[in-house]
Structure 1
Amino acid sequence: MRSSVHGFRVFHDLKLVKKLWLSFSLVTLIALIIFAVLSSTFIKQFMTDREGNAMLQKIEYFTGSMDSYIQSIEKSSQLLVYNENIQEPLSANAANLNGMNRIQAFNYIYDQLRQLSDRFYGIEAIYLVDKYQNVYDSGVGMNFTPSYLVSDEFVKQGWYDKMANNNSSNSLWSFIKWRDKQTSIVMFKTIYDKNNLQILGYLIISISPTILNNYLASSNLDEGTNSIVDSNGFIFSAGSGAENPPIDIARMTGTKGHYTEESNHYVVAYSKHPLTNWTFVHTIPESLLLKDLKQINNLWITFLGLSLALMVIVSVFISRTISMPMRKMIRMLRHVEQGNLNLKFQPLYKDELGDLGRAFNHMIDKVREGEPLMREKLVRSLIEGSMTETEAQMFEERLGFRLSSTSFRVVLLHVHGGNEKEMLDRAESIIHEFENWHEMISIYLSSEQYCLIFNGTNDEVFNKINVLIAVLKERLGLHMYAFVGNQYEHVNLIKTSFEEAKTLLNYLVGERMDEQTNVFFVGDAWKLQYPEAYENKLLYYMEQRDIDNCSAVMEELIVYARASHLVPHVLYALMASLYNHLYKLLIKSGQSAVLSKSWFGDVQEKLLSQPLEKNGRQFIALVREHLSPNVQEEKKPSRSILKSLQIINEQYSDVGLGIDSVVEQIGLNANYFSQLFKKEVGVGFTDYVGQVRMEHAKRLLEEPANKIKDIALQVGFMNPHYFSIWFKDNTGLSPSQYRKQLLGQIG
């Protein structure tokens, strides 16, 4: 079983071309073998029936010849036994006659017996036994002495009883093996008194079996073994194979027929003879009878080999016609995986492979059409800082953009003095071509701006920007400006880099732009005004409760502030912003009670009187104390509230979602649950459900393909009109206005 399973797996692991021609060849071989076996069996049966019927005809010819011989003996013996001169001495016991009468009676009987013997070829001896146990014989060719016929040994064989009980007018014919083991054909005939039908005696005629060979020769039954089965089941065989032929008497039903002895491979034909009650049997070896079948089988084997070879050639040709287009398509799919969409499959025929090729081309067209939308979605997720690991993996698979480095930077390209559509389309094509060789992704923002997100170090980004600007100027004559945001180590800080680049662009674009300067960085002068990059990192890691990274960034900030000689009021503004954000996080997590009423006053005093080194490290200690993951874990909601939050997040699309349906699932009182929910979550149940639905509604509105009525159903509103009213009450904008504003911001 294991070997068959292993073989099945090996077969499935084969290349398609090998699998196809092996399958074709195997199916063809099986079909040819089945056809050969069935046809050979049919031919064998046909030849057996034909030869069996021919054997029956020969047997009938043989029995017809034997009939004339046997009937002649029957008629002659009938005339003999009903002769007045025979019946009279038999009825009066000729042995008791005197003198000349006795001699005349005996001589007459002997003379009649000799005449009958001389009249027919093959008669060995004729005996006449009367009821007085007198035995008369023909006197020639006797197999035994006349006294043997009246001995107890012969009487006990029951022949006289069988003749006495024979109600038929026909004689009793059988084979007898005498003392010397010689076998003879013997006819037993009962002699009746024609006056009173009393038994007078018995006529016994012994015939040599050699007579059978003469008749067999004339009937063309010289091949095989010829046998006669008498009424006693005795089998006498003659012919070329006279030794114990395999005859099954039980299978010889009906007056004639033939059958095959499978165990001994013989064909047996038989015909029953009504006159003698014998069954004439001809037995011939199957190999001799079907000698022509061997040549037919050899021809079949040759034909089978040639057919199999031809089918292998045909199957290889067919499999190649299938596998070659499939291989080509696999190669094209690998190019698609690498981001190359400039492919087209050329179907040669209108078969299924042609349909598959056309479907492949249609798919590539759709992918090519949908790629800008996918790029836009990826860049939007990056610059909004909302991309999950699952989404990142999906974008990597579908766009081929892999975030392999831990350094991220946003660059905004601005086109100066050239906004023709054809020129901008060519510029966009060059930028996309540039992506194939560099770790970056881009989207078209407006008629003058492109957003590029790089994944690499500072030097790499600077070199790539200069190369790209030079290529655009050389090919299209466009004068491009690049506005580069700060570099960050986390993907969700790309939005900060984008905001920095956008602010820089808004600040410098216009009259301030220098024709000789192509790339603008957030340089030292920018940082001296305010260390926004460090602030953004600290705020992000505080949101993530990543205390170790907060501490590391703070140490970097301390070193930077000392080296850059940041003025006190800048440091004060920075630390105040950090403390404000910490206080906001504590309020959201329900920990505002840990802070005293004089907390802000104490912080201000510290910021004004202490250096950044001390203030910064004290701030990190405070963050570690209140925002550490261990502290947050101690204040997890109760199990019932966690279960209710799970139900809300899973069933927010259910129109019937409410307090009653939730408490029914968690087994709490509605009033108690409402109070507990607001205490542990911070907002009421209805408000929280509304927040969850709003988040999903906004996310769905980001997809232009989603219809507003479908979005309403997906967030639990049966009526789209009521959904629009609810959305506008909470956001100030209708769903369609929100979507337009969102897409406009991204553009």
Structure 2
Amino acid sequence: MKSKFSKTFRRFLLSYLVILIIPNIAGYITYQTSINAAEKNSIDTSLLLLKQSKDVLEQRMAEVKNFTRQLAINQDITLIMNESVKKDSYNIYGLWKTWRDVSYYDKTNDFLQNYYIYLNNYDVILTPATIYYRPVHYYELNQYSDLTFEEWKKTVIQASHQDTVLPLRSYIRNKTESFVMTYIQSLPLNSFGKPRGTVVILIDESKISSMLMSFSSQYGGWAYITDKDGKPLASAGIDNDQIAQIGLKSAPQEMETRQFVDDTLQITVRSASNGWLYVAGIPKAALMEQATKIQHFTWTVTAVALVIGLLICLLLAYRNSTPINRLVRIVREQIGQDSYAARNDYDFLHGNIAGLISDNRLLETELSRQIPLVRDAFIKRILRGEFHSLHEIRAAAAQSGTEFQGDYGFVGIIRINGYSGMNSEEILNELQAARLLIKQTVLALDATAAITDLDSDKIAMVSSLASEPRELQRMVIEERMMELKAILDADYRISVTISFGSSFNSLSDTSRSFEEARRAMDYAAASGSDGNIIWYQEIWKETTTYYYPLDQEMRLLSALKVGETTEAKRIADQIFVQNFAERGLSAEMAQQLIGEIKGTILKLIDQKAIPDPDESELLKNRTVQMVLSEGIDQVRSELEEIIEQIGDLIVRKKNEKENETVSAIRQAVEARFGDANLSMYQIAESVGRPEKYISQLFKEQTGEHVSDFLEKIRIKHASALLFDSVMTIDEIALQVGYNSSHSFRRAFKRVQGVSPSLYRKSTNE
């Protein structure tokens, strides 16, 4: 057996070598013959083309720079930037007139098609299309993928810039991703302090790359441009990873270079004005265009060599793989595997079973080691509010082995006092030991608490409860924390400050309680209450503005999208309690809050979450007509009815889709049950859904696995053939999709309770 496998391996290796060596020899001969004749002309032409691209781009960037200078001397912009703005007081006409003066610039240069002007005193953004009176509204539609709103506002529109060029980065405009280069100029010019305004010009990569496309379209090569720091600005025929590799191998400082690197002619030109590097690569194959006769000869030799090599490969593969394939098929049937991942059949037969056992043990060991890390990551995620539904939270909790007593509880933060601003290695080691002692003490007092590190001197904990929190539970938690403080002070001389947010009534609401605990901790630091236990309800809260953060809106949208009506109504109820029960909002603030809530519902409807256009229009009209003049209770009741109606429509749509998918799975199985190679992947591909999804859905809807249903269909048809046909059992096995009569007999007896021969005999009798 071993010698046969070794012989097979040698023959496969020989076939690969034959296929690879013959065309390589032919290509090498052609290359040596033609490269010298075509090299000089191609190099000169490519260098000239690259310089022309550099000159054109520098001219266009100069036009962009001139555009910012024109804005800097524009009288309307200068006046509007220097106006003194009172709170909620806008010079509407001045802003409109300024917008009108600058709105036509996007038609003068395709590099200026997407720009905006930020006015610091008004905190507004002017674009060629409209005026955004809040930067957050512009950010919702136009944003860098790697910058949050605060980071964008701090580093882009409020920072001081002098002809700043940001390298290529991902940018999302109206939910469409692209890559842009950014040019930024502060207004007025030479604003070294806090600028009064900022001009930001977003230049799409495709507009720059179009200047380089000739290298890929004409030569089949590539070209790219980087700034003086080596960061990509545009490319054609090459991705950023390849650019980074080329930059590591060579970053020439000369103004012009030309050299062969890995069978590619690489030409570089560096700009004297801004230090940008222009690089183009042309494959050696493109340099041989002038050698027509030699190329014809090369193609002929290469084609003949490939055909001969392919025939040899097919012959050897067929002769040597047929017996191996038969043996592999038998082994698969015996061990019940539909597929395997191995370099070849020999690896499968030699080490599949032993490797499976070994990998299973290693996996169990590794999972045991990773559970604490997974649990810690889960606690951090739930505190940050990264989960979109209760189902997702419970699934992640089960995966990490985290158990909660119920859906209620409090989130608290424990801060070790006396270490503020200290970050030496000795202090950090001391804090690490203190955190460990605190965790052990907390778990000794409450074994169900979920704990994670927040910072070197802070720990967060989630105390879950089985029922809705009442004053008694709060007193119990406070007594427990007092005991914790006493133990830490008496045994370890550790002083701590503890803060708690208000109670949460759903696990998806822990992020809100966590944020309140952080505010309470900040309040303790600011008010000098270190060493105490601070509750969020006991500190002063701002009542002049409403509370409706973005993460709360996202949780409401997520609950509605998946049809969790109860969770959505709970979140809506919490919004009203936080703003109308715990805060004293003015009529204007209350009206703005209702408008924001209506905007959330309309946003969901506009995302086509509701398939029926008539229902969608009715819901939209009903939402628009919801006004505060009807009374808070009436608005609250109307909102709950709208949420319930949306949830019913989404659940109905979800059920219809699931029923259609199950029906499609049944049809696919019934149509292809005779295919012995039918797999879950092929079924999933035919219905256009992932394997795991259709497996779980079919089990939930029908109570049986897809494989069991397939087996029943096959046995059903086999039973019919046994009853009214003269086919042999082996022929029937092949007819209904079994590779061997042995596996067919086992499956038949498992389903029908008797062997195929006894079944045929009994039906004939």
Using structure 2 for the length normalisation, give the TM-score.
0.32
Q: Which has the larger radius of gyration?
A: 1
Using structure 1 for the length normalisation, give the TM-score.
0.32
